[in-house]
Amino acid sequence: MERLQKVIAYAGVASRRKAEALILEGKVKVNGKVVKELGTKVSTSDTIEVNGVKLEKEDKVYFLLYKPRGVISAVTDDKGRKTVTDLFKKHVTERIFPVGRLDYDTSGLLLLTNDGEFAYQMTHPKFKIDKTYIARVKGVPTIEGLKKLQRGIKLEDGKTAPAKVSMTSFDEKAGKAICEITIHEGRNRQVRRMFEAIGTPVVKLKRERFAFLDLGGLVPGEYRQLTKHEVKLLRVLADTGKID
């Protein structure tokens, strides 16, 4: 079950905020009845109409993108910057959206889909789906600094969950290091803020893995469709916390 305004937004009809306004104005029907409650939840079997036009049910699609730096993890951008969905427009007709986000200056593995339930499972912290990043940082983290990240570190929006962190290389003379970090949360600019909190700000950041998925030879801007088996395994991982 999904909130009605969320389903309308995912269908590409309007933004979430505009969808809420349409509901309050009585312009949305569910199974032939006008609905004005924002908390209304609907299922895939419900028939939804917006301004008298029925929402068409698309086949569910799932993509893995190697997001380049300098691209927005969004469907649209009010500043006219390139978005991740722009990379698909010539070949994908479904109204897809990014699963979570990667910052403008962060590259790497990003999933896109038109399946709201799947996106929720992949992004909500309670499902504990691991995301692994390679961070090039300014300065060399101390052992105690890395331990703080591993235990969870206090940020302005609360303490982070424990992370898996290791320093793969460093150059004391040049004052730089490369670290690998795995987290299952997805707060705004979280990895960058975590390293900044221990005094080694991120210079360059790339997401290498999402659960068991990796970039598999793709170059920035390239993408591939997930296999049915990969989608099934991701769902099992979210439901059970493990895959055999």
Respond yes or no: is residue 77 known to be catalytic: no
- Which residue in 86, 103, 105, 214 is the catalytic one? 103
CA distances from 57 to 44, 45, 170, 240 (A): 8, 10, 51, 28
Residue type for 30, please? V
Shared domain check, 118 and 134: no
pLDDT for position 39: 86
Predicted TM-score (pTM) of this structure: 0.83
Residue type for 59, please? D
Domain that holds residue 12: 2-54
The domain that holds 118 is classified in CATH as: 3.30.70.580
Which of 54, 75, 96 is where one domain is finished? 54
Beta strands in the chain (DSSP E): 2-3, 28-30, 33-34, 41-42, 48-50, 53-54, 62-67, 97-98, 106-113, 131-138, 154-155, 158-159, 164-171, 176-183, 202-210, 213-214, 223-225
Shared domain check, 122 and 87: yes
- At 17, the pLDDT band (50, 70, 90 cuts) reads confident
Shared domain check, 100 and 76: yes
Shared domain check, 134 and 122: no
Q: Is residue 215 part of a domain?
A: no
197-234 pLDDT, tens digit each: 999 999 999 999 999 999 999 999 999 999 999 999 99
Shared domain check, 200 and 136: yes
Which of 20, 38, 54 is where one domain is finished? 54
pLDDT score of 87 more than 90: yes
Number of domains comprising the chain = 3
